[in-house]
A and B are shown apart, each in its own frame.
Chain A
Amino acid sequence: MFNWLQNLANPTRFMALSGVLLPIFGAPTIGLLAIGLYMSFFVAPADYQQGETVRIMFIHVPAAWIAMFCYALMTLSAIGTLVWRHPLADVSARAAAPIGAVFTALALVTGSLWGKPMWGTWWVWDARLTSVLVLLIIYLGLMALWRAFDDPARAARPAAIVILVGSINLPIIKFSVDWWNTLHQPASVFRVDGPTIHPDLLWPLLIMALATSFLFLTLHLLAMRNEVLARRIRRLEQSAAMGNPARKTVSSEVGATA
């Protein structure tokens, strides 16, 4: 496994593999989204308390799960950057940040659109909502940090440290509804005693969650390819500006942190 990851340090090898993987992730994304949408509107019944508004759950919950999964992936990438100095780890973290920010913003906005008819308010400063807002601020802060450095390789270590510090927010988000008295409902799917949602509502939710997961993988792979290309372009532009022809492709061009 580790050797396989080491082989991916070669950007040419990574670009070849990701080119093969993109349609493999992309095709199920479209199919699962279509099935999930159909189930969300035509198979799932209205909730006995929330009525039709429960349909917002089928996009709100997957968006929130992906927002957290994305940060967990960035945390693993940060470990990869700091411990193994894997060139692709920083590429992975940097590519994931804007995608994570979009999913976090979507979780907040769709949650707000769900909260207004159900709670009677767009926003409350309860622990769950506030900790997810903090996650969005961390994503935006990291994106600003990466942009503040001219050389992406120099930004890798400080960004990895900030990611690791920010990862303390993940258990806070997950357990906020248990640790504090919140307006947000407690967990109803990932529970020790099993899901408390009726299967008629659970299945569309799981299909949409799977679709969103494939969507995230597709977008992340695409963003990683863009980041590798951007670093190659930067290197060639620097070489052209200095009047030196660039050396052949080496792994350091994707951002070695050494």
Chain B
Amino acid sequence: MLGEFGSFIIWSYALFFGAIGALGIWLIARNRWATKRLHQLQQHDDRSKN
């Protein structure tokens, strides 16, 4: 279907979607970790104030 150079096309799309997918997953994972860590620190901070 994609002709003689089909593997070049498939590699291009695989790399494109693989890279943006990995970037998206990394950003979401970092966001979740940061939200959790911030919550922990805020609780600790509130305890210190009391």
Contact = CB atoms under 8 A, between A and B. Distances in A.
Interface of A: 46, 51-53, 55-56, 59-60, 63, 98-99, 102, 105-106, 109-110, 113-114, 116-117, 215, 218-219, 222-223, 225-226, 229-230, 232-233, 236-237, 239-240, 243, 245-246
Contacts, number: 91
Interface in B1-32: 1-6, 8-9, 11-13, 15-16, 19-20, 23-24, 27-28, 30-31
B8 to A, nearest CB: 5
* Secondary structure dominating the interface of B: helix
Q: How large is the interface on B (under 10, 10 to 19, 20 to 34, 35 or more residues)?
A: 20 to 34
A113 B2 CA distance: 14
Contacts of B1: 52
A52 B27 contact: no
Contact of A240 (B13, B20, B48): B48
Given A56-B9, A102-B19, A222-B31, 4 more contacts: A53-B8, A63-B16, A225-B31, A236-B42
Contacts of A246: 45
13 contacts: A51-B5, A52-B9, A60-B12, A106-B16, A109-B15, A113-B15, A223-B27, A225-B31, A226-B34, A229-B31, A237-B41, A239-B45, A246-B45
Contacts of B23: 98-99, 102, 219
A114 B12 contact: yes
A240 B44 contact: yes
A53 B9 contact: yes
A55 B11 CA distance: 12
Nearest to A116: B8
Contacts of B45: 236, 239-240, 245-246
Given A240-B48, A245-B48, A232 B8 contact: no
Contacts of A117: 4-5, 8
Nearest to A236: B41
B19 A106 contact: yes
B6 to A, nearest CB: 7
